[in-house]
Amino acid sequence: MAACRLLRSLSSNFITVLPSLSRSAPLCRLRPVSTPCFGRTLTSSSRLTAALKFTDKHEWIRVEEDGHGTVGISNFAQEALGDVVYCGLPEVGTQLAQQDEFGALESVKAASELYSPLTGEVVEVNELLADKPGLVNKSCYKDGWLMKMTIAKPEELDALMDETAYERYIRSIED
């Protein structure tokens, strides 16, 4: 909890330092210099965001070297959720079709359903989140990943948004 307060106060410092970032502008800009997921270096941010694809439900999926997809929620989503207090994640082995509900993130705001970005099988779940659900807020693209899954239909990836398209999408829904 103290870490979250720290994060918020640091974010507000961020905003005074970079006046172009107003409260109404999308905070998820994904260009490393403006990422509010505090504590990551510029180069690691570039590498991480390079291969992300996004859904309209504000989830991302990154294809790893082993062909599995790592799934998480975007910075826009974690900001909207507020402090996550519990991550309800699926069992390893669960079969998911694209857009199936696979769990929920609970925050003070609500229990928010999670929707599978692709069709596949859950192969790993982020065990760290059991004791540290706040990682989803603090490090949504790195340590706060939710689950890893097989990619049964790679063509589904093509229909997802890349970083640029996702940024456009966020701007459009904020209007």
Q: Which residues bind other proteins (CB under 8 A)?
A: 57, 85-86, 88, 91, 104, 106-107, 109-113, 115, 130-131
Task: Provide the 3-class DSSP secondary structure of residue 131.
Answer: helix
Question: Which of 91/155 has CB closer to other proteins?
Answer: 91
Q: How far is the CB of 160 from other proteins (least distance, A)?
A: 16
Q: How far is the CB of 110 from other proteins (least distance, A)?
A: 4
Pick from 74, 72, 98: nearest CA to 87: 72
Distances (CA, A) of 88 to 58, 104, 127, 140, 155: 17, 5, 11, 16, 28
Question: Which of 42/111 has CB closer to other proteins?
Answer: 111
What b/e string do you get for 3-12 counting C-beta neighbours within 10 Å, with b at 16 or more? eeeebeeeee
47 close to 129: Cβ distance less than 8 angstroms: no
Question: Which of 28/87 has CB closer to other proteins?
Answer: 87
Q: How far is the CB of 106 from other proteins (least distance, A)?
A: 4
Question: Which of 65/131 has CB closer to other proteins?
Answer: 131
Question: Which of 18/111 has CB closer to other proteins?
Answer: 111
Q: How far is the CB of 137 from other proteins (least distance, A)?
A: 16
Q: How far is the CB of 125 from other proteins (least distance, A)?
A: 11
